[in-house]
Amino acid sequence: MTTPTTFIRYSLRNRLFVLAGATFLLCVVVILLFFPLLNLTLTGLQDRTLKSMQEGAEVEATTIARLLVLEFASYKGLMQMTPSSDTPTDQSIKDLLWEKVTFNEIIEGIELIQGPADALGQHLTYMFYRREAPELKPMAGPQKLMKSFQGLEQDLINSITTQQRVDNRLQESVNRGPKQEGEMLLRYMPVHVLLADEGAVYWGVAKIGIDTSRMRQLLLLQSEEQNLLRKDIWLEIILSLTISGVLAMSLIYFWVRYITEPLKSLSFVAGDLQTARPEDFDLWLENLKRVDPQGQAEVAVIQQVLRRLGTAVPKLGQRLIENEARACLGRVMARGLPTLQAWQADLQDLERKLATGGADSLLPADQTLALLRARLETVFEDFSLFWSKEQWEALDLTLGLERAWRLATLGLPPEVQLHHDPSPLPPVWGAASELSLAALYLLDFAVELLPPDGDLGLAATPTPAKGVLLTVWSSGEMRTPAECQRWLNPFGDPASISGSLGPALAAAIAAQHGGQLTLKPREAGGVEFSLALPPPEASQDPHELPH
Amino acid sequence: MDRGTRIKRLVWAVLFLQLLGCGPAPELPPPRTITYTFDAPTRDLISLLAQKSKSSLYKNFDRNFKGLLVPESLLPYEPFVLGLSTESKIPTVLLLDAPWVQRYGVAGWLYELERTHIFDRSELVPAVAEAFSVSLTKVTGEKGKELVAVPTYIKGNILFYRGDILKRYNLKSPRTWAELQAICRKILPQEKSLKYGLLIHSTNALNDFYPILWGFGGRVNNDAGQFVLHQRANADAFVVALKELISMQKGIIPGPVELKKFEPTGSLRQAFYRGQALFMINWNTRMKDLTDLIAQGKGQVPGSLTDINQVWISPIPAHTDHPNRYTNIGSFGWAVNRFSVTDPTVIANARSFIELVSDEQFQILAAENFGQVPSLNRALEKVTNRDVGRVYKWTFGQKDMVIRARPHNRRINNVLEKYLQEALYGLRTPESALDGALADLKDLTRPE
């Protein structure tokens, strides 16, 4: 389950940046998809234009061809033309073809093909082509000849002759193939000669070549224009995307920063709580108050809740400490109660004997009575120390440690080996009752872990830095560092808080006094607490002074 | 009102504004008109209907349809052959004589009307619908004949006869030439006022001869418009029919000398009006002319017609063995130029035009005013002109009547007319006339 860890690694701000960036990239991709669509549109446009131009050219060609055919229709002399004739009419037909082809740029050539063919399948034909194509030799002039036609063209001419109607599919097929006359659009039309007494009499076929170079030029021009258009649009869109990208990312950066700033500040302040020491709590609360929600309802709500929690936590903590102290003293009292009761019974027995004069002790009765009373008073004095509220001062911990040791060991089984080696200690800065309580917390906790025949020890030694190092240890089961850490920080997993909070509270008291509590498992089993306190001058910093 | 609600309302308002007409203005299509060949009778009838009818269609006729006047000088040159053979889109609708319907139809220049739902063939008298139908198999690939023009009336040559005289002799109208001759032989000797048994035209006699030839089983052109007179059966029928006609010159029809009398226009109907002939072959529209002559009483002589009921009509007789009798149709029909049909609008406009000019009230008006026989079944049922009803009932409505168009080729008609005249005037024998005609038309007899 690494995902949640990875997930919470990114802040809301980073996420918004990434999402905004991804959204922008998506938009860019969608906009870039415009190009294939543009290409399709332009291709479609080109196709439609091509088709429209072809249709236009064909209509134009048909119109030109029709005009010529209407003119040929008045040439009655055509009806008398034979292959061998050489009359002025022959010449006038040739002249007419020359004029039409020579002076009309759009007409590439004309053939007048008589309908019926001779025995060899040849048709009487008048023809003239300009032959502008470089690979073709120019014609000497209009010609009259017997000409054979092949393939589809022959079929088309025969079809026109028999039906006097143009089969457009054949005509299209003829136009699609290569033409010996050169590149041109060919139109075939029936020629009827108008005779007053017979009407429109079919004569043959007019084959008219129409120049298509203009259409090719237009197509080329259109293709170039489209390429230019593509390039311009591409450039404009890339430029627009770049500018809009920079603009968008700048604005998004600014807006995201602006929007997430209160939450970020709040999260930083809230995060400080994890590392804040108890003495920093007021400062943390002050920092929390200073977070500006900038009108964001969510931030304001969280801030308000945190403030309420922040106000409640110290009070709860204080109550917790007090209750834990009472609980600790209660446990100590409970352990020492049999001993105290025994002492009380001895005391009452002794007082009765003294009253009756039956005392037979080795010690004088009044001395024994005094000793018992002293013992009880010592216990009560020891207890009273932990209920007192003392001012902070430079103090010698020896007395407090003695009292804590006495209370903690009161009522322990006789099999328990006690190790207390008092030694002179340098003074430390603090409250005697609280430091003694810290020692009691540790001793009480150690007693809880102690087996019936275990070892319990307390040592207090000066440190090289002129501070004090308090060591509490007990024998027992083998413990792990993680277990020791949990004792120190029972709130790490709030769901599993259990047992005594003594080590944690002792650590808090140590920290309050500028010291530090460490805890480690002993190699022989059991644990060892080390509470280090600094010398007075080191812990007297104004910031760390108690309120 | 919260912000979200305001935005929602704004969006709905924008959407509804489109519906309220605040959207882009719709593009109006440009007005479309179609062109048609202009003719005086149609124009007259349209003007009459525009005055009488409440329909705005006739009043706005010129706004929707543009008439093209064909100069009379061009008519002999058949200008539309040039136009349509070169795929001209103009005119959209043409008024064509029946032979030209065949010519244009076979060439594939006319748009099929029935399959394209421009006109329903079943509305027409079947015989006349057949005359305006051609095979378009070569063009459309569809088998069978297709209606390519809508006739607005039926005109054809028929046999007029003195019904009062035949009734008196208790004789029926002749179905065959033998019966006609027998009637003539019986009545003529007894009716001294009757100079002729049968009158036929001496000029344009070919129009009268075609139904006679068809009644003998002969054809000049086949259905595809190809010249077939030289084929044995047709050539024989031609000779037999001509011989029959010439044989009747001995006492029944005018001989070579008297034929000249009938060359002037109207001479035939005048002779029949004056009671000189027992039978006459003429266009059915002569019924109205005779009615007018009787009404005017001009040039009346003893024995002249005094009542149109004396005039009876029947189809031109046929050969005894032939099952059908024929008429040479002289009707015109409206056809659609195939090359002008470039989009559905043209078809819709053409349909609208043809509906107007072949409309029921249009035909009834023509029947009442000009004595034209309607081509629409509905119009025929409603016509009140008794003579028109009689003509249809006793001629075009007869079961054995076939309405057929003469060949369109003027050269063929001119050549045949020439040799027919020579034969009737006794200058050639029927065989010689046929040989001469075939020689002149030799180029048409070559196999393709």
Span A49-66, pLDDT tens digits: 888 888 888 888 899 999
Determine whether the interchain pair B410/A198 forms a contact, defined as Cβ–Cβ distance below 8 Å.
yes
- As separate numbers, helices (DSSP H) first and strands (DSSP E) second, chain B gives 22, 15
Which pLDDT value is given to residue A45? Answer: 84
pLDDT reported for residue A279: 66
**DSSP character at residue B376:** B
Q: Per the CATH hierarchy, to which homologous superfamily does domain A310-544 belong?
A: Histidine kinase-like ATPase, C-terminal domain (3.30.565.10)
**A127 pLDDT tier (thresholds 50, 70, 90):** very high
User: For the domain with range B34-154+329-400, which CATH number is right: 3.90.76.10, 1.10.10.10, 3.40.190.10, 3.40.50.2300?
Assistant: 3.40.190.10
Q: Could you give the angle at the alpha carbon of A488 between the alpha carbons of A486 and A489, nearest 5°? A: 65
Largest Cα separation within chain A, whole Å, is 188
pLDDT score, position B16: 52
Mean pLDDT of A353-371: 70
Nearest to A199 among B76, B85, B88 (CB): B76
3-state secondary structure A495-541: HHCCCCCHHHHHHHHHHHCCCEEEEEECCCCCEEEEEEECCHHHHCC
CB contact under 8 A, B410 and A199: yes
pLDDT at B396: 95
Nearest CA in chain A to B138: A163
Which pLDDT value is given to residue B448? 47
Nearest-neighbour CA in chain B from A213: distance (Å): 24
- Token pair listed for B150: 């809508």
Q: If we measure between CA atoms, which residue out of B208, B270, B220 comes closest to residue B424?
A: B208
Tens digit of pLDDT for each residue in A467-481?
899 999 999 889 888
* Whole-angstrom distance, CA of residue A518 vs CA of residue B217: 137
Q: What is the pLDDT of residue A372?
A: 81
Interface of A with B in 51-90 (CB under 8 A): 62, 65-66, 69-70, 73
> Quick one: CA dihedral B395, B397, B400, B402, positive or negative?
positive
Nearest-Cα distance to chain B for A298, in Å, is: 20
**Confidence class for position A137, pLDDT limits 50, 70, 90:** confident
Name the residue among A163, A189, A192 with its Cβ closest to that of B81.
A192
Q: Do A62 and B87 touch (CB under 8 A)?
A: yes
Query: Reduced to 3 states, what is the DSSP secondary structure of residue B113?
Result: coil
Kindly list the residues of chain B whose beta carbon comes within 8 Å of any beta carbon in chain A: 76-79, 81-82, 85-88, 107-109, 138-139, 410-411, 414, 448
Question: Is the confidence at residue A187, as pLDDT, over 60?
Answer: yes
What is the number of CB-based contacts under 8 A between chain A and chain B?
Answer: 56
- Rounded CA gap, A210 and A199, in Å? 29
Fold topology of A70-211: Beta-Lactamase (3.30.450)
Ranges of residues in chain B with a pLDDT under 70 are 1-32, 446-448
Question: A70, A118, A157, A164: which to substitute to probe chain B, counting the most B Cβ within 10 Å?
Answer: A164
Best residue of A63, A194, A197, A208 to probe chain B, by most B CBs closer than 10 Å: A194
Query: Out of 3.20.20.80, 3.40.1390.10, 3.40.190.10, 3.40.50.720, which CATH number does the structure's domain B157-326+409-445 have?
Result: 3.40.190.10
Q: Is A179 on the interface with B (CB under 8 A)?
A: no
Taking alpha carbons only, the member of B4, B21, B29, B437 closest to residue B235 is B437
- Residue B393: predicted pLDDT: 94
Show the beta-strand stretches assigned E in A269-353: none
Q: Which of A3-12, A339-348, B204-213, B218-227 has the lowest mean pLDDT?
A: A3-12
CB contact under 8 Å between A192 and B448, yes or no, is no
Distance (Å, rounded) from C-alpha B430 to C-alpha B95?
A: 36
Higher pLDDT, A4 or A58: A58
Q: Does ipTM surpass 0.85 in this model?
A: no
Start-end of H helices in B109-171: 126-131, 137-140, 163-168
Is A490 a residue whose pLDDT tops 80? no
Whether residue B82 and residue A164 make contact (CB cut-off 8 A), yes or no, is no
Chain B residue with minimum CA distance to A194:
B77
pLDDT of A9 strictly over 60: yes
Residue to substitute from A201, A202, A203, interface B, most B β-carbons within 10 A: A201
B34-154+329-400 and B157-326+409-445 share one fold: yes
Q: Does A206 touch chain B (CB under 8 A)?
A: no
Alpha-carbon span A16 to A256, nearest angstrom: 7
Q: Which of B85, B109, B411 faces A192 most closely, judged by CB atoms?
A: B85
Which of B194, B434, B398, B413 is closest to B316 using CA atoms?
B398
The stretch A62-88 carries a mean pLDDT of 89
| SS3 label, residue B278 | strand
- Higher pLDDT, residue B236 or A412: B236
Q: Minimal Cα–Cα distance from B289 to chain A, Å?
A: 30
Task: Please tell me the least confidently modeled range out of A91-100, A110-119, A373-382, A444-453.
Answer: A373-382
Q: Where are the domains of chain B?
A: 34-154+329-400, 157-326+409-445
Average of per-residue pLDDT across A506-510: 87
Element (H, E) at B400: none
Q: Which helix (H) or strand (E) holds A213?
A: helix A213-275
Give the distance from residue A108's alpha carbon to the nearest chain B alpha carbon, in angstroms. Answer: 19
Which residue from A minimizes the CA distance to B106?
A163
pLDDT in tens, B256-290: 989 998 999 899 999 999 999 999 999 999 999 99
Evaluate whether A70-211 and A310-544 have a shared fold.
no
Q: Which of A65, A163, A199 sits opposite B78 (nearest CB)?
A: A199
What string of H, E and C letters represents the secondary structure of A240-284? Answer: HHHHHHHHHHHHHHHHHHHHHHHHHHHHHHHHHHHHCCHHHHHHH
Q: What is the pLDDT of residue B435?
A: 96
Enumerate residues 6+ apart whose C-beta is below 8 A from A203: A72, A78, A79, A114, A115, A191, A192, A193
Q: Are A69 and B81 within 8 A, CB to CB?
A: no
Is the per-residue pLDDT at A364 higher than 70? no
End-to-end, the C-alpha distance of chain A in Å comes to: 45
Mutate to test the interface with A, among B74, B85, B414 (most CBs of A within 10 A): B85
Report the greatest alpha carbon distance in chain B.
Answer: 116
Provide the pLDDT for residue B163: 95
Question: Which residue in the set A162, A197, A200 is minimally distant from B82, CB to CB?
Answer: A200
What is the residue extent of each domain of chain A?
3-32+219-275, 70-211, 310-544
A386 vs A499, more confident: A386
A119 shares contact with chain B (CB less than 8 Å): no
Burial of A364 (0-12, 13-18, 19+ CB in 10 A): exposed
Nearest CA in chain A to B443: A116
User: Could you say which of A70, A163, A201 has the minimum Cβ distance to residue B138?
Assistant: A163
